[in-house]
Amino acid sequence: MVQRLPEITAILFRTAKDQASAFYGVNNSMRFFALSDLHVDYPDNEAWVRALPKLDYRPDVLLLAGDLSSDFSRLEDVLLRIRDVFAEVFFVPGNHDLWVRRGEGLDSLGKFERIMEFCARADIKTASTLLGSVRVVPLLSWYDFSFGMPGTDLLSRWADFRMCVWPAGMELPEVAVYFHSRNLPEMTLPAQTVISMSHFLPRPDVLPQRVDPAKYFLTPVLGSKELGIQVERINPLYHVFGHSHLNSLRKLGGISYLNNAFGYPSETRITRKALVELPLGI
């Protein structure tokens, strides 16, 4: 049974349209929006992207926390469309983005590098960047079973175990170490306000309160404790993430953890299907 999205503090989860006039009355500067898991392989989701108004967000920033498409051409297309709407777009790849199919000629790390090279050419931000007084810090990651070991059922059903292909001899914990090591230069860069972002979960208790991580089937493949350590070292005002398709806002240890997944078309009760603005108060 799918449960309804829990009630979330109104000021933190108003839609872009609702907040626009109020925000510009206080501070006529860029706004920061969060979104993940667009999965534009679904026509309804792709149509939503195509319908984004090009003039409404011209001075604004989008934090896009992964899982756009397993098809590289479609991923390129949607990033370019979104880049044409917002002043700045930050992106971290998700697990679906690194799926590979026969004939691609790349393993998942090769596809990751191809995505990063495309983002550099298209001016999609994938590294720590200072925008005025706000620093946005994208963090790479992968799950490493530090949240728990997967059972035989999960091992047989989780598509990543078939669709992601890593270099010979590279185990999943090593994949996570590889991605986490690429975050290290981002750890100590100064800023007045910091927002970090990742596709994967930095700690299991950022799930909605109704979900018990100890009993949740997918917990082992949701994230990594090492990612959580890196987020705490950065100590952002917000950490934006995706992956779980369970929208939530949890404030833990002074950090607000926000998941605003668009999700699959059928997930209308657990995902919001709208941009969410981060009210920074600056």
Q: Which residue has the tokens 């108003």?
A: 14
- Structure tokens belonging to residue 225: 């404790």
Tell me if residue 106 falls in helix, strand or coil.
coil
**Rounded Cα–Cα distance for residues 61 and 104 (Å):** 32
Q: Could you identify the residue written with the tokens 């990612």?
A: 227
Residues 6+ apart with CB under 8 A from 178: 109, 142, 170
Q: Model's pTM, two decimal places? A: 0.88
Cα of first residue to Cα of last residue in the chain, in angstroms, is 41
Please list the rounded mean pLDDT of every run of 10 residues in the chain (282 residues). 34 40 46 97 96 93 97 97 97 98 88 98 96 94 96 94 94 94 82 93 95 92 97 96 96 96 92 91 62
Hey, is 51 helix, strand or coil? coil
Of 137, 97, 128, 160, nearest in space to 239 by CA: 137
Dig out the tokens for 273 from the structure. 């299907």
Name residues whose C-beta falls within 8 Å of residue 238's C-beta, 6 or more positions apart in sequence. 34, 195, 196, 255, 256, 257, 258, 278
Q: Which residues contact 54 (CB under 8 A, 6 or more apart)?
A: 84, 85
3-state helix, strand, coil in the chain (%, to 5): 30, 15, 50
- Give residue 43's pLDDT: 96
pLDDT digits (tens, 9 = 90+) for 228-273: 999 999 999 999 999 999 999 999 999 999 999 999 999 988 888 9
